[in-house]
Amino acid sequence: MTKTIIVGNRLPVKIHDEGGQLSLRSSEGGLATGLSSVHSGGDNLWIGWPGMAIHEDQQEKIVSELKGLNLIPIFLTEEEINNFYEGFCNETLWPVFHYMSTYAKFDPVHWQSYQDVNKKFCDKVLEHAEPGDVIWIHDYQLLLLPGMIRNERPDASIGFFQHIPFPSYEIFRLIPWRKELLNGITGADLIGFHTYDDVRHFLSTATHLLPIRTSANIITSEERTIVVESFPMGIDVTKFEQSIQSENVQKHIQTLKETFPGVQLVLSIDRLDYSKGIIPRLQAFDNFLTEHSEYLGKVSLYMIIVPSRDTVPQYQQLRNEIDQLVGNINGRYRTVGWEPVYYFYRSADFETLVSLYATADVCLVTPMRDGMNLVCKEYIACRINNNGVLILSEMAGASKELIESIIVNPNDIKEISSALVEALTMPAEEQERRMKQLRQVISKFNITQWVKIFMERLNEVKELQNSMKAKLVGPITEANIKKQFTNAQKRVLFLDYDGTLVGFKVRVEQAYPDTELYDILNSLIADPANKIVIVSGRNHETLEEWFGQLPIDFIAEHGAWMKLHTKEWETSPNLTDEWKKEIYPVLNLYTDRTPGTFVEEKSFSLVWHYRKADEGLGELRANELTSNLRYIAADKGLQILPGNKVIEVKNIEVNKGRAVNSWLNQNEADLILAIGDDHTDEDIFKALPETAITIKVGSNISSARYYLNKYIEVRKLLKTLAG
């Protein structure tokens, strides 16, 4: 019986020290609520830190109590909490990922602790994980964990979800241990973020820093196919809606209405953090009162700041600024019966929050950066009468979904001020129209749906990986291929050239056929049952020069040209090269910037070669070029093909698979053998019938049925078939 193992920095319970006695309480966080149905079912587990340092004498008791809840604790020492959690997580990753890099510290001691704690998590996961289990890892505290588990369990099913933003490449590369972090994340099979922007930033960063290829949202490494997607996280809408009907919440709501008669409430709830945009929000409210004096005495900002890390200098300074700004606003505008800002520096219980959500006329959520931000969704869930207005920062992940809110730039004080006026004067009909649509969104994409979609997608990715795994051509497989080959009466061999029949050379013109290759081809040609078709990205003139004397057929330049032995070269119809004049300057620009690179022109494609460039620089420029070309190519009907130290741009109609099918429509064969090493050869493998013998060279991640490691093994197989 397989199980799901959830791994997060924190367990979904809080441990409290009450006079030396430790007690457990359930966490009311969104993640804990959403995943409760997963970890509590069957043998499923949740592994994480209990949130405080536990003395060794009490650890066994905690383990025993948590075991009954399907929870497995990871115990951290005070030193690990300081260096791993407070250090690397909160002083390195948090500021960098929230674009506040000036606050970041890059301490090798913190980095070492981060590695050690991730290893501690890894050991605990491996202790409980069995073959077939699904492992779902959460957030930035455990970026190394997917890779660590993958190294020990190559076939494990691993999902990773990041709940905070992922920064652009220019920001992320500031981290000295950037490659190690990326290698850790890409140990997962499915990598999830809240928004497509985060997906885009991650793919760009990974292709810049790692030797991988990407196509759309799929990463291809030497070992696996990895999918990167956005999964906007939801909330438990029903829980909030039902809570409003409770007697205690109704009493709270009545008390709030009696406390603020005739006053419209603007609600603001945040954890103390520089990423939340609290200072500009207060400045905007100040501007609102200054420029719209008609609202004095009629509108109040009800602001809750949840304490967080207030022993850290930046946070102490932020709190002092908030205190001073609130004091300044209240000092200038306060009247006997009215307070402009009601400011509470404390956490609030669930019933209090629900009461405030249900009462506030406006909810003001303006973070500078936020992965999702669930406060805005909680506010919407509590507006069961379809009234109220949400003002939301465009920098919050939720803004991509909640488009019926008033979207603002959190840095634009004037815009936030104007948004407050718009919200406070919005007609009831308009409020209802907007709120109904917002409530439909959060009801449909709730926390249960988020969990369901992620887990289903992870299963799909594992199925995709398994379908893309070719089988090594060993002695038994080779004997079976030989037997099929011998029994066939009409055989066709579709053979790629570079990397398949010959090895790669630093200079492409040096990869000419040698005597051994000619001997192998002649041996195959000697049997009239064999027909050889060389299918290559090479230009047709070169193939003619090298093999024109042999009675074989050609598909050149990835299918742009075809030549049957007894006929002339023909091009695919309706092809154009008009696009070259726009692409050529881009390729030349990168050639000028990258010593050792050059551009090769073919009839209907352009190829940028970087085999002779410095390895690191070549990979960097290739990834930059691919990103640059992707936007141009989409408009021009072009395809970008990353190959072995080459980037090729060609007409999208040019396709090896189509060309091979075209050849088969004109010729008969009762056995088809196709061998290739390139990304473009996958089109052949996919186009051929399942009965075809398809072989990928250099990788087992392929649509081909089989794989060989290098061209030398291809030659050996062809000799066996010829003999």
Residue 60's contacts (CB-CB under 8 Å, 6 or more residues apart) are none
Catalytic residue among 139, 286, 496, 683: 496
Structure tokens at 12: 């979904």
Query: What amino acid occupies position 575?
Result: L
Query: What amino acid occupies position 126?
Result: L
Question: What residues form DSSP beta bridges with 472?
Answer: 707
Based on the number of CB atoms within 10 Å of its own CB, is 349 exposed (0-12), middle (13-18) or buried (19 or more)?
Answer: exposed
Q: How far apart are CA 607 and CA 654, in angstroms?
A: 14
Q: Are the beta carbons of 603 and 561 closer than 8 angstroms?
A: yes
Backbone φ and ψ of 232, nearest 5°: -60, 125
Structure tokens at 100: 């506040």
Residue 290's contacts (CB-CB under 8 Å, 6 or more residues apart) are none
Q: How far apart are CA 216 and CA 591, in angstroms?
A: 25
Reference 553, options 567, 572, 538, 571; nearest CA is 567
Q: Which residue has the tokens 């820093």?
A: 209
Distance of CA 590 to the CA centre of its chain: 28
Residue 634's contacts (CB-CB under 8 Å, 6 or more residues apart) are none
361 assigned to active site: no
Reduce the DSSP state of residue 17 to 3 states and report it: strand
DSSP state string for 183-233: HHHTTSSEEEESSHHHHHHHHHHHHHHSS-EEETTEEE-SS-EEEEEE---
Q: Is 477 left (phi over 0), alpha (psi -120 to 50) or beta?
A: alpha
Q: Are the beta carbons of 219 and 187 closer than 8 angstroms?
A: no
Reference 296, options 259, 266, 334; nearest CA is 334
Q: How far apart are CA 196 and CA 400, in angstroms?
A: 9
Give the helix ranges, DSSP H, for 72-161: 78-80, 94-97, 108-128, 145-152
Q: How far apart are CA 201 and CA 282, in angstroms?
A: 31
Structure tokens at 487: 């029994």
Question: What residues form DSSP beta bridges with 193?
Answer: 230
Q: Rg of the Cα trace of the chain?
A: 31
- How does DSSP classify residue 509? G
Question: Which residues are catalytic, by number?
Answer: 496
